[in-house]
Amino acid sequence: MGTVSRISKEILLVLTITFGMSGVRSLLGLIDDLLSTTPLNEQQETIYDEASQIGWLDLALQVTSAATLFAWGLLALFLLGTSMPKMRWSDWGWGALLAALIGIPGLGLYLVALQLGLSKEVIPTTDAVEIPVLLLWSAANAFGEEVVVVMWFMTRLKQLKWPAWAAIGASSILRGSYHLYQGISAGFGNIIMGIVFGFFYYKTGKIWPLVIAHFIIDAVAFVGYLALDLSWLGL
């Protein structure tokens, strides 16, 4: 089997197993939402969905789902024949900068899109007990997505002789596709995020800043509301 053929088949298989199929499901889900008689901005998307009403069983199911995301990232590293590079303190600085660059405008985009009917209303958690699981999900999403969608996917496209702009574009479109379940604006917003992250990786070859930035963005989205709502402290 030729190298090009092998890489092409690997891309098809990995994306079918991971985020490619997630993108297809999100697109179909968005079509279903748009065909609903309820306007998109009157529909809700809950950040934390219980997998079971039994506490310990819900925790176990959430952990296994997060483990799947970590495994996707580890699979991509295995296929690349490499491991995660050593994390440096500078990675945290770049991560925080990228998180602010993406997160602050992203919040504004969400609020505008909600008013224009292009996004669902995202319901944050109000239960402090869920915080550890949400932080685990933040880490799992960050690791799985950035390693697969940026590091592995862009590396393989480079090996197929794709120009940088095409590889960045493909990576960003993939990222946008599996966020369509939140609404049209989430898809476009994540495409923009993908362009920024893809360009950063292309220029620096650093993956940890992207993982850190993604973790910060998700952690703030998942638990930030709870930090502002002090009722759970009895205040």
pLDDT for 179 equals 94
Element (H, E) at 235: none
Q: What pLDDT digit, counting tens, does each position of 49-80 carry?
A: 777 788 889 889 999 999 999 999 999 999 99
Which of 145, 173, 168, 172 minimizes the C-alpha distance to 158?
168
> How many angstroms separate the CA atoms of 12 and 173, rounded?
16
Contact of 107 with 100, CB cutoff 8 Å = no
> How many angstroms separate the CA atoms of 126 and 231, rounded?
9
pLDDT for 233 equals 45
48 φ, ψ (degrees, to nearest 5): -115, 115
Low-confidence ranges of the chain (pLDDT < 70): 1, 47-48, 124-129, 224-235
**3-state secondary structure (DSSP) of residue 109:** helix
pLDDT for 125 equals 62
pLDDT for 230 equals 43
> How many angstroms separate the CA atoms of 44 and 38, rounded?
11
Strands 44-46 and 121-123, bridge-based pairing: parallel
Q: Kindly list the distances between the CA atom of residue 152 and the CA atoms of 180, 212, 235, in Å, as whole numbers in the listed order.
A: 22, 17, 47
Residue given tokens 């297809």 in the structure block: 24
Q: Kindly list the distances between the CA atom of residue 5 and the CA atoms of 72, 153, 182, in Å, as whole numbers in the listed order.
A: 22, 15, 35
Neighbours of 230 (CB within 10 A): 9
Tokens of 19: 């985020």
